[in-house]
Amino acid sequence: MQSIVSRLELDMPAHSEFVERHEVKTEADLSGAPPRFALLIAVWLISTAALAAAIAEGNHYGDLRILAKTGVMSSGRVEVLEPSNHDRLVYSYEVAGVMYHGYSHIGEHNISVGDTLPVFYSSETPSLSTLGDPSRSATGTLILAIVIGAVVSALIVFALERRGLFGRR
């Protein structure tokens, strides 16, 4: 029985040396600052939201939402095709006897000057218009903005983390 007690007494100093050599963090030591991972996630989420909002606004997301709610479908006529200007087209449409013009980017579609296309215009502001379904365009714009915002934000946070701007590793 005595040999077991002597062994425990011998092992105790080794344990206390280990504790002294390695700082043991307690909850009290960690309560002053958020964990680095939580900080990284918070910065990523905030920057994703900011970038997505900026990208969505730059792509007229607000206008598309208005048109999705108050839009009236009409017919428009292709007036000008500008393939050298990012495949831009200019279209016209009429509301209550007043002629309006809008522009869009057609991508790779077989469209010619004089073709008739569906136009959605705002019942409150007829000069605000878009080609095609504004709900679908708004959803696509929002998804694209969020994806681009999330990827760019992740790259920025990763670069900042690599430079050590979020504290020690």
Residue 84 carries which side chain, given as an amino acid letter?
Answer: S
pLDDT at residue 33 greater than cutoff 60: no
The predicted pLDDT at position 72 comes to 92
**Mean pLDDT, residues 118-146 taken together:** 91
**Mean pLDDT, residues 126-150 taken together:** 91
Give percent above pLDDT 70 in the chain. Answer: 76
The predicted pLDDT at position 119 comes to 94
The domain limits of the chain are 70-132
Task: Supply the DSSP string of 128-169, one letter for each residue.
Answer: -EEES-HHHHHHHHHHHHHHHHHHHHHHHHHHHHHTTTT---
- Find, among 72, 75, 66, the residue nearest to 99 by Cα: 75
Lowest-pLDDT range of 19-33, 91-105, 106-120: 19-33
Alpha helices in 22-133 (DSSP H): 27-30, 36-58, 61-70
pTM equals 0.63
Length in residues, the chain: 169
- Dihedral Cα 61, 65, 70, 76, nearest 10 deg: 40
Q: pLDDT tens digits for 81-110?
A: 887 777 788 999 999 999 999 988 776 678
Helix axis angle, 134-162 relative to 61-70, nearest 10°? 150
pLDDT at residue 166 greater than cutoff 90: no
pLDDT at residue 28 greater than cutoff 60: no
The predicted pLDDT at position 164 comes to 79
